[in-house]
Amino acid sequence: MVFAVSDPPACAQALADEPVQPWQYDRSRAPVAVKVLVAGGFGVGKTTFVSSVSEIAPLRTEAVMTQASAPTDDLSGTPDKSTTTVAMDFGRVTLADDLVLYVYGTPGQKRFWFMWDDLVRGAIGGIVLADTRRLRDCFPALDYFESCGLPYAVAVNHFEGSDAYEPEDVREALAIPPHVPVLIMDARRRDTVVESLATLVGHALDATPEP
């Protein structure tokens, strides 16, 4: 659907279900669009993270879990989980008038890791989601971003019933370098997801050399 630049009210009415940003009817204010990844272990909350923050209907590629995956998919931390991401999650969020993030959630199971090489292309940085009950599950994502040289931040998704830890405790447990941000957040709460993404973007800007 195309709208005239001079007709923002019509644009706003037609997109009533989606927040209208200034750049959507003023091409002179077109924002910078950047890509970020959200990675982590199985059932850590990547789909929830993307869904919580996306200002459009998020794209999900979820499949129903069957008994065939029981030997490889550990549900001890998420016993109510019945679906799993098999390709990616995708959402969009406007952080400022001049900055839009395209957020891609990676699949968590090892058998789908081959997707990461495609999803990482063009990304400025990544969020590594961690669950303190299963910290070892985030090591593959940490190793992957380190090997790619991709700036990243660690976001600890605090689940109900899990012990609360300080960011520095998590940093020490995971041997995260001092310059990498570590945050405690809740993937169900949009404000903490936005804070995590804003922190990542700031870190990526600091870590990326001037052209």
Please check whether residue 176 lies inside any domain of the structure. Answer: yes
Residue 147 lies in a domain: yes
Residue that the structure tokens 């091409």 belong to: 27
Give pLDDT, residue 69: 44
Please give the tally of structural domains in the chain: 1
pLDDT per residue rounded down to tens, the chain (211 residues): 333 333 333 333 333 444 554 544 454 556 789 999 999 988 899 999 999 999 998 876 555 544 544 445 455 555 554 455 545 789 999 988 889 999 999 886 666 667 788 888 999 999 999 999 889 999 999 999 999 999 999 999 988 777 889 999 999 999 999 999 999 999 999 999 999 999 999 999 998 766 5
Please name which of 14, 204, 197, 61 lies closest in space to residue 122, comparing C-alpha atoms: 204
Output the CA torsion 132→137→139→144 (10° steps).
-130
In the sheet that holds 32-40, the strands lie side by side as: 59-64, 83-96, 99-105, 32-40, 123-130, 152-157, 182-185
Residue 6 to residues 14, 20, 28, 87, 107, Cα–Cα distance (Å):
15, 15, 12, 40, 42
Question: DSSP secondary-structure letter at 11?
Answer: H
Domain hosting 37: range is 32-55+91-207
Which residue type does 25 have? Y
Residue 197 lies in a domain: yes
**Which domain CATH number covers 123?**
3.40.50.300
Quick check: is 95 in a domain?
A: yes
**Token pair listed for 146:** 């380190």
Q: Residue 161: which region, alpha, beta or left (left: phi > 0; alpha: psi -120 to 50)? A: left
Contacts of residue 159, Cβ cutoff 8 Å, sequence gap at least 6? 45, 77, 131, 133
The reply to whether 180 falls in a domain is: yes
Per-residue model confidence (pLDDT) at position 109:
64
The one-letter amino acid at 90? F
The answer to whether residue 19 is domain-embedded is no
16 assigned to some structural domain: no
Is position 157 within any domain?
yes
